[in-house]
A and B are shown apart, each in its own frame.
Chain A
Amino acid sequence: MGFKETGVLTLEDMMRAGLMPSEERLRKGPVALLECPEQIPCNICVSACPFKAISMDKIYELPRLDENKCVGCGVCVAKCPGLAIFVIDVSKGDKAYITLPYEFLPRPSKGVKVKLLNREGKIVGEGVIVKAWEYEKTWVVTVEVEKNLWFDVRAIRIEGR
């Protein structure tokens, strides 16, 4: 079953669409993952990137990331209308840092413990928010997670609502 049946992307889907940064780049530090495998007519990420690391010739093409220009700042995470961009950092010790968009209540803040959800919404662990900032009501939240969860965690749930 493909992502059009499940609504869930696999690592193979990402590779096939040419959206996966190289392993070498992943080891270097934070980098954006553009989880946008369909040719939708949208180029917001291209104009969003302050480092011109994302490009597209036609508005319906898949975004292409220049992994050498991307610094993992997360501006694209805030601006992508599809909430389809994440920043992954697997360069530091035994933890991974995942930056994801969040548009729910309660609002996130640094130091808060959260439930970690995978692409199917299943709880796969707990993590801590290490950074959170907001742009036009979309929060960009970085969570610290176990390293082996770097490709699984794609959402958080903050308890207490």
Chain B
Amino acid sequence: MKDYRIVEHPIIDFKRGRKVSLTYNGKIVEAYEGESILAGLYAAGFRVFATSPQGDRLRGAFCMIGRCSSCLSRVNGIPNTRICIEPVRDGLIVETQEGLPDIPKVSREIVDVVEEMKDVDVLIIGAGPAGLKAAEILGGYGLRVLVATDHFRAGGQLVKQTHKFFGDTTYYGGVRGFKIAEKLISNLSRNPNVEISTRTFVYGYFKEGFFGAEKIGDPSLHLLIRAKYVIVAAGASERSLLFENNDLPGIMGAGGAQTLMNEYGVKPGEDALVIGSGNVGLIVAYQLLQAGVRVHGIAEVLREIGGWFVHAAKIRRHGVPIFTGHTIVRAEGRDRVEKAVISQVGKDLKPLPGTEKEFNVDLVLLAVGLQPNYSLLSQMGALMKYLPEAGGLIPLRTRYMETSIRNVFVAGDLSGIEEATTAFIEGEIAAYTILEREGFAKAVEERERILNYLWNEYRQSPVVQRSRDAKLKVTVSEEEMKRLRG
């Protein structure tokens, strides 16, 4: 069987764990500890992981961070398991689901749920740049912090960022994203005040004053978490795009491809076309080249390249064309993408017939924007505003990152799509505000310094004006927030 794992990479040294074996639809598949089931299967050549609920359309991998439903499978008899955030283990039995699954028979595993109460000072939901940075500061001041993430590994999207970060050395400028994640996580692991709880799904807030969370494990735990303060830093999910056959296996989010090639070292395909020329599209194109994938081009619906020039220049000089004023009109293929067709668009951004270009590719990467994971804050009753330019529903907040619910804060992409540097900063602002309330006098000074840097330096850059304007639209004064709270 062919192994699609990347052996040598210019930037990443893949350290693979112990070999394990699982069965997939009755076949034995070997994988390495530390991989997700999906990554292990992809490396072994599987490309179709599920079907549509009606059972008539094939589904490949799409987001690969547990946010979509393209990989729902039956694992050890439990249906609707997202195999992209389920780690491989020896002896796992994984099966493809055909259409909607049957409800499993009640098993001991489900009946004997162990319930546990947890009391902490701060609950942080999300272990990406915003959540980890906030935890570092709060834990440093001695507050008891619980960081919950549904993934089996902390780090959020940092773990797949192979480029050196921009910005200032204060916020890890010049350091590669995955190295920042390693550093933050290793710092936190030495702090006894901070617990990072992986495979923990915070599913809802109850008016009695606690969060419900399921911690998957052996045995699984049902956690009831009480916290004085909460920072919701749950990030965002990748958007899809409407076009013919947009669900064919081989069409995936740009971040999904990053997960495969940069986190697990699995080559996502041989020939790729990228849709969208924002920074994500440009960066993923460069990373595909580094992973040895041929990149046939980037299609951008607007007349100008969306992302930063330096990212565009990097791929242009390795021969990747950027087709501005173009969009994808369809994908073709039987069980997976074999061809993609793009076309020029008119002033109304609609395809112009007769201008099609065809590409023989097995990968189409959608880099067409992100949508904040607003569901938990929304369920809690936080006031939201719909802002298409920032990704959709965004919680209102004060400049101190406090939502309309007192002592509940937001940070990172969930507060409006931006990037990792501002996620670190927003996490810090939320953390220092909590510290102020806990009576640490120095916190105010620190926070004002950071706020000044964020608004009067970093976000003054003309290339981030769009996100700056969006953030201003959801940032309300303390007085206004008081009024809104009623």
Question: Are the CB atoms of B461 and A60 closer together than 8 Å?
Answer: yes
Q: By the criterion CB–CB under 8 Å, are B309 and A59 in contact?
A: no
- CB pair B313 A119 closer than 8 Å: yes
- B311 surroundings in chain A (CB, below 8 A): 82
Judging by beta carbons under 8 Å apart, are B309 and A37 in contact? Answer: yes
Known A47-B169, A81-B166, A82-B166: A41·B309 in contact at CB below 8 Å: no
Given contacts A5-B324, A7-B309, A105-B10, contact A38 B315 (CB under 8 A): no
Q: Tell yes or no: B280 within 8 A of A by CB.
A: no
From A8, A39, A44, A120, give the contact of B174 (CB < 8 A). Answer: A44
B residues 315-354 near A (Cβ < 8 Å) are 315-320, 322, 324
Q: Which B residues are in CB contact (< 8 Å) with A136?
A: 164, 176
Within 8 A of A (CB), among B83-114: none
Q: Which residue of B lies closest to A9 (CB)?
A: B313
Binds A, one of B62-70, B190-198, B241-249, B300-308: B300-308
Complex Cα distance, B186 from A146, in Å, reads 49
CB-based contact B313/A81 at 8 Å: no
Contact B457 A60 (CB under 8 A): yes
Q: How distant is A143 from chain B, measured CB to nearest CB, in Å? A: 14
CA distance A161 to B7 in the complex (A): 13
A6 interfacial contact with B, CB 8 Å: yes
Q: Are A8 and B310 in contact (CB under 8 A)?
A: no
- Please tell me which one of the listed residues A36, A43, A59, A119 contacts residue B317 in the complex, with CB atoms under 8 A apart: A119
**B290 with A4: CB separation less than 8 A:** no
Chain B residues with Cβ under 8 A from A121's Cβ? 316-320
State in angstroms the CA–CA spacing of A63 and B310 once bound together.
Answer: 14
Chain A nearest Cβ from B251, distance in angstroms? 24
Q: In the complex, how many angstroms separate the beta carbon of A51 from the nearest chain B beta carbon?
A: 18
Whether the pair A59, B462 counts as a contact (CB closer than 8 A) is no
| Minimum-distance CB pairs A-B, first 10 | A121-B319, A82-B310, A60-B461, A7-B312, A81-B164, A42-B166, A7-B316, A41-B461, A155-B317, A84-B310
19 contacts between A and B (CB under 8 A): A4-B304, A5-B324, A41-B463, A42-B173, A43-B173, A47-B169, A59-B458, A81-B164, A81-B174, A82-B313, A104-B10, A105-B10, A117-B317, A120-B319, A121-B320, A136-B176, A138-B164, A155-B318, A157-B318
